[in-house]
Chains A and B, each alone.
Chain A
Amino acid sequence: MSNRFDVIVLGGGPAGYVCAIRAAQLGLSTAVIEKDKLGGVCVNIGCIPTKALLHSALVANTIAHDAKGLGIAVEGVSTDYGVAMKRSRRVSEQNSKGVGFLMKKHKVTVISGTGTLLPGKQVAVEDQVYTADKGIVIATGSRVKGIPPAGLNLDGKVIISSDEALFLEHAPASIAVVGAGAVGCEFADIFNAFGSAVTLIEALPRILPLEDAAASDVVAKSFKKRKIKSIAGAMVKNTEVREGGATLTIEAAGKTETVDVDVVLVAAGRAVNTEGIGLEAIGAELDDRGFIRVNLDTLETTAQGYYAIGDVAGPPMLAHKGSREGVVVAERLAGHTPHPIRYDNIPSVTYCHPEVASIGLTEEACAEQGLEYQAGLFPFSANGRARASNATDGFVKILRDTKYGEILGAHIVGADASEMIHELAVARENEFTVEEIDLAVHAHPTLSEAIAEAALDSLGRVMHT
């Protein structure tokens, strides 16, 4: 095997392996270096296995809460997290193998081992040195970290991260989830469905703090109905760990309270994998937040010929953002001029139930920026398909620029929100206005009709409310 390639990608996650496929498609000889499993965090201990567990949770909730009313009597129902976990592992393994198959199909060389960057567009893996003629792409990703200032040091047993939660044999009797972003809300949903008493703790004033406030409200209500205890605006002041449990001291609204649980899941804070990969040796700098400093147009680092994509290159730390960066860098290395990435048009999705999907600005951001906007809102309770499917929680909200009809932001809360958001992603990418959304005929009855109705509502002519 030759040690010389056009492109060498360090890291086989969703940013790195997609970059490698695109480079190979464009005729470049390409290698991917991966120290663990292909597919990275996303496929193995992130996006994919959590979606498998959330599907189990949805079925459990449907049977527990809805089946009877749907005319299905189910008795003697019990849940088993261990079985759901094992199924999620099989899904992950299939996907990881699928990435391996894709590498073979596209003739990308996979090098197993830990790569260290060297000057002169070289990478050392164990005793081998590989050279790239065109460029080296750094896609080493990120990992969980605890919150040491709050005493939340990960120990893998009582204080755990998603890395361990995904491999538990049993759902704990009680669990505190610290951090109510996407990861925290998804695990709160999962463990609640599997019978754990869940306390969800968020430092900012509301759960899903980065989403539109109206979206947070719907999820908070839904969680409350399912007896998930949410405490927002709360700081963890102290953590006392004992055998088989922990006591958290939290301060919220000027009051101090303690929470006793068997397990604490830390779902906030990730660290980027920038250590020990040779960044100093090649002269690649970090920015003041610890990400690799890149030129946002080219994604080249401060070291010429070395590029960074995905989580190490900066937020948002999302698989689909990394994948797109991989495509752009591959095309650039092949001598193309790819269209720049619109970082303001990357969808964000939380897969708890109801799902939350958004793109662009929140209504709060529109107001803060002093934009002239009109919010169009359509609740799923007014949508025929949602009623038929017993999925009336949530809404579609579209924020329309008053002057030109530009879609400043869109927010969907409800069943299948994750699938529906892309109509608005396509619209925004092509600079369609709300009028074009309305002009496109939406099939009846579908949940997506709510999008067209929200567009109409932003124009002051909603039909079905």
Chain B
Amino acid sequence: MATTVVMEALSPTMEEGRLVEWKQPEGAAVTTGDVLAEVETDKAVMELVARADGTLLKHLVPAGTTVPVADPVGIIGQPGEDITGLAGGAAPAAPAKSEPQEQAPTPSAPQPAAEASSTPSDGTAVTTATDRPKASPLARRMARDQGIDLSALAGSGPGGRIIKRDVEGAASQGVAPSAPVPAGGGFVDVPLTQMRKTIAKRLAESIGPVPTFYLTADIAMDRTWEAREALKALGPEGKVSFNDIILKATATALRQHPECNAWWQGDAIRQWHEVHLGMAVAIDEGLITPVIRNADQKTLREISAEARALSEKARARKLQPEEYTGATFSVSNLGNFGIDHFTAIINPPEAGILAIGGIAERPVVVDGTVTVQRRMLVTMSCDHRVIDGALGAAFLKTLRTVLENPLALVW
């Protein structure tokens, strides 16, 4: 009699596990205790072992699938055994002409097994990361162009083939764009690991909907000061603000740290391919954050001109909605207001914002000697669900390197 392999609770708090990799192929002979698969839990990657002797007749879920604890993932039995009752209609091993026979009850209910294997559009259970979905060439091309994940669609063509109609339906119902999108498509959605889900849940419970922590860096601005002075020599055209340089440096650093150029999406982290930089501007009624699009691809001169234009428009309250939405990261600068250090509040779904203090001459110790340098305190607010401490620190290190060596901006 066949035995169902179920997702076991491999840690006390585990509610679901992601089947990372099958260690035994279908058809492999297994004995009790053999490792069948690797499962990622909320804590670690652990092993799922066989609880019966026989042949691993079927993988009920493909690798990469997240399965609730106690739900079936495979079947162990004898070669040729009829497992249609356990595996739903999908069992290839079942001989077509087998006599109808009563399904013996199994330790775990067979019904969920049939459901898990026969309703791939269920959403929670099966997402085929490895299987190529059946789709017409036209549907494939449309999905690729529109960033629709074919494996998330149910096909209505012959044999469940995904056809044009299905993609059009998905597009009109707003099925989430897929990952990964080809270059130029805008972003990549990174599926949440069990650990990241737990981090997100626990931290949100602790501190509020956006669990924020703060990182501060004290940056030497002498070379940036000199660079700005040097640009002034070019005449009125070369007049740029420190803020312009900081924006450019931030965009450059974000380019190297896409993990920080991201949105929290609830079920995924969306890492954007382009940097759209929000820039907090104080206006009479409060503040607004116009957006410099594709800031990472623009020159300092372009950013300077755009920042000035956007600020003027903001103060005149003439910003269009598309000019103050869609930022992937933001910068708030109170240096002009005589502030040395502050923390800024994250603008969700963005995951980070920089709070820029004023540049001031301060005594610092260099090589055992007290000297005077122009210093600036930069504090980054990080959404801990997206950016962990080390990630934020690495980003700040890059930003510091760029600002302390501004020639990097043209590298």
Contacts and interface: CB of A to CB of B under 8 A. Distances in A.
B270 interface: no
Nearest to B136: A431
Interface string A65-93: 00000000000000000000000000000
A22 B163 CA distance: 26
B163 A404 contact: no
B136 A404 contact: no
Interface stretch (A244-252, A265-273, A432-440): A432-440
Contact of A435 (B137, B145, B164): B137
B186 interface: no
A339 interface: yes
Nearest to B138: A431
A225 interface: no
B157 interface: yes
Contacts of A405: 138, 141
Interface string B135-178: 01111011001000000000001100001100000000000000
Given A430-B136, A431-B136, A432-B136, A404 B141 contact: yes
A406 interface: yes
A406 B157 contact: no
Interface residues of A, number: 11
Contact of A432 (B137, B157, B158): B137
B145 A403 contact: yes
Contacts of B139: 431
Interface in B167-217: none
Contacts of B145: 403-404
A337 B342 CA distance: 66
A433 B163 CA distance: 12
A406 B138 contact: yes
A404 B141 CA distance: 6
B168 to A, nearest CB: 11
B interface residue count range (under 10 / 10 to 19 / 20 to 34 / 35 or more): 10 to 19
A433 B157 contact: no
Interface in A412-465: 430-433, 435-436
A406 B158 contact: no
B240 to A, nearest CB: 42
A339 B157 contact: yes
A339 B163 CA distance: 12
B164 A431 contact: yes
Interface in A392-409: 403-406
Contacts of A431: 136-139, 163-164
Contacts of B136: 430-432
A430 B157 CA distance: 9
A243 to B, nearest CB: 60
Contacts of B164: 406, 431
Nearest to B162: A431
A436 B157 contact: no
Contacts of A432: 136-138
B138 A339 contact: no
Interface in A116-163: none
A29 B328 CA distance: 67
Contacts of A404: 138, 141-142, 145
Interface in A328-357: 339
B153 to A, nearest CB: 14
Residue of B136, B138, B141, B164 ringed by the most chain A CB atoms within 10 A: B138
A432 B157 CA distance: 13
A404 B144 CA distance: 10
Interface in B324-371: none
A431 B142 CA distance: 11
A200 B131 CA distance: 59
Contacts of B163: 431
Contacts of A435: 137
Nearest to A401: B138
A405 B157 CA distance: 19
Contacts of A430: 136-137
A150 B244 CA distance: 82
Residue of A403, A404, A433 ringed by the most chain B CB atoms within 10 A: A404
A339 B158 contact: yes
A107 to B, nearest CB: 25
A335 B127 CA distance: 31
A200 B137 CA distance: 44
A433 B158 contact: no
B381 to A, nearest CB: 42
B158 A436 contact: no
A405 B136 CA distance: 12
A430 B139 CA distance: 10
Contacts of A433: 137-138, 141
A31 to B, nearest CB: 31
B155 to A, nearest CB: 11
A432 B145 CA distance: 16
A432 B158 CA distance: 14
A327 to B, nearest CB: 14
A38 to B, nearest CB: 31
Contacts of B158: 339
Contacts of A406: 138, 164
Interface in B281-310: none
Nearest to A436: B137
A430 B162 CA distance: 10
A431 B141 CA distance: 11
Interface in B47-72: none
Contacts of A339: 157-158
Contacts of A436: 137
B222 to A, nearest CB: 54
Residue of A404, A405, A431, A432 ringed by the most chain B CB atoms within 10 A: A431
B148 to A, nearest CB: 13
B44 to A, nearest CB: 45
Interface of B: 136-139, 141-142, 145, 157-158, 163-164
Given A404-B142, A431-B139, 13 more contacts: A403-B145, A404-B138, A404-B141, A406-B138, A406-B164, A431-B137, A431-B163, A431-B164, A432-B136, A432-B138, A433-B138, A433-B141, A436-B137
17 contacts: A339-B157, A339-B158, A403-B145, A404-B141, A404-B145, A405-B138, A405-B141, A430-B136, A430-B137, A431-B136, A431-B139, A432-B138, A433-B137, A433-B138, A433-B141, A435-B137, A436-B137
**Nearest 7 A/B pairs, CB to CB:** A431-B136, A431-B138, A404-B141, A406-B138, A433-B137, A432-B137, A404-B142
